[in-house]
Amino acid sequence: MAHSADLPTGELSPDPFLERTPERCSMDVHVLGVHVRFHSDSAALLNVAAMAYAGLPPHVLPVTPPDLLVELRLGPARVLPPGHEPPPVNLQSGAGFLCGVMDACNYAVLFPEQHRALVVASPDMLERPYHLRYELIEFSVFTLATRALGLAPLHGACVGWQGRGALVMGDSGAGKSTLALHSLLRGMDFLSEDAVFVHPESGLATGVANYLHVQRDALHFIDDAGQRRWIEQSPTIHRRSGVEKYEVDLRDGRGRLAQEPLELACVVFVSRQPAENPQDLVRPVPAGELLPRLLAEQPYAASQLGWDAFVQTVERRGAYELRRGRHPSDSVDALLQLLG
């Protein structure tokens, strides 16, 4: 986007909206069952998109999706002093557009009906690839894909066994990431740690198995020294909540990434509450509790078109509460019993 300060003094710019900016590079990826093409005037910006989506298993859903186009544009000016965290994204909509705006030089504009998005970033955001990738690029792709395919966008993790998946929900700090980590280390199929997308009618779940975020204090449950080193050698990221986590890239072959969408077998609500009996961690969620719990956990998904069909799928397949055992491996055992 051109600003008045960018226009030459005393004359009009021949291209004030930057409509003829050359696109020097492109990349094609397959994400959430849809083909995405990235165009960019910056190889560095395209590399951030590759950090998110390169090397992922292609998933196919029972729907014919349109292709998505995302243009990545590098702005001319630095905005933030070194070391400063970028401002949070503000969301807005109107005239058929969806917008996610950090500031005047860092924003995303989405055109859902045209299956297109424009992401603009200032050069200093290349020094903050986590925020750029997660809050602008992934935000754009996920939003376009879920609306194009009619998916239910859910906050949670998903792991599986022999093609069947458990959708894991819970409050921040309840242990979703720890459970996902130990499920991966036990050889279960890993689908996603943070965002899961369910095709409501078929009950198939897809996601992006790129990174796992692990807090340092979770390492004392890992006995294998090689596994601990793998995590400790990963870069760290700082969440806006102030929590620091290792960002572990899962595409190096150390774990089993779900090669296909997982058939949703159940929803599991993880709880901070310890189990009274260490051998009895799981209880079914009564029918009358299920909808209120889903609404409390997933307010955004509940506003989307596929919500009712998703709830019906969960009602048919079952929901459970998983309380804490003495060790995360106890919770993995409980998941395997549910998926067996």
**Whether the predicted model's global pTM rises above the 0.75 cut:** yes
pLDDT of res. 14:
78
Specify whether 178 is located in the same domain as 65. no
For 195, left (φ over 0), alpha (ψ -120 to 50), or beta?
beta
Sign of torsion over alpha carbons 294, 65, 31, 122: negative
Specify whether 77 is located in the same domain as 16. yes
Specify whether 167 is located in the same domain as 96. no
**Separation of alpha carbons 258 and 262, rounded Å:** 7
pLDDT of res. 145:
96
Work out whether strand 211-214 and strand 97-103 pair parallel, antiparallel, or are unpaired: unpaired
pLDDT of res. 5:
47
Specify whether 277 is located in the same domain as 329. yes
Number of domains in the chain: 2
pLDDT in tens, the chain (340 residues): 444 445 444 456 777 777 777 768 999 999 999 999 999 999 999 999 999 999 999 999 999 889 999 999 998 777 777 778 899 999 999 999 999 999 999 999 999 999 999 999 999 999 899 999 999 999 999 999 999 999 999 999 999 999 999 999 998 777 888 999 999 999 999 999 999 999 999 999 999 999 999 999 889 899 899 999 999 999 999 888 888 999 999 998 888 999 999 999 999 999 988 887 777 899 999 999 999 999 999 999 999 989 999 999 999 999 999 998 888 999 999 999 999 8
Specify whether 167 is located in the same domain as 134. no
Specify whether 188 is located in the same domain as 293. yes
Specify whether 243 is located in the same domain as 131. no
pLDDT of res. 23:
66
Residue 119 tokens read as 């992401």
Residues found in the chain:
340
Specify whether 192 is located in the same domain as 308. yes
Specify whether 240 is located in the same domain as 144. no
Nearest to 236 by CA among 214, 210, 208: 214
- Whether residue 45 contacts residue 93, with contact meaning beta carbons closer than 8 Å, is answered with no
Nearest to 186 by CA among 340, 338, 328: 328
Burial of 183 (0-12, 13-18, 19+ CB in 10 A): buried
Residue that finishes a domain, picked among 149, 172, 194: 149
Q: Which amino acid is it at 165?
A: G
Domain region containing 281: 153-339
pLDDT of res. 336:
96
Residue that finishes a domain, picked among 149, 165, 185: 149
Specify whether 85 is located in the same domain as 181. no
- Whether residue 86 contacts residue 69, with contact meaning beta carbons closer than 8 Å, is answered with no
Residue that finishes a domain, picked among 149, 176, 211: 149
pLDDT of res. 11:
56
- For residue 261, the domain's CATH number is 3.40.50
Specify whether 317 is located in the same domain as 256. yes
pLDDT of res. 239:
85
Specify whether 118 is located in the same domain as 201. no
Strand order through the sheet with 211-214: 211-214, 244-249, 236-238
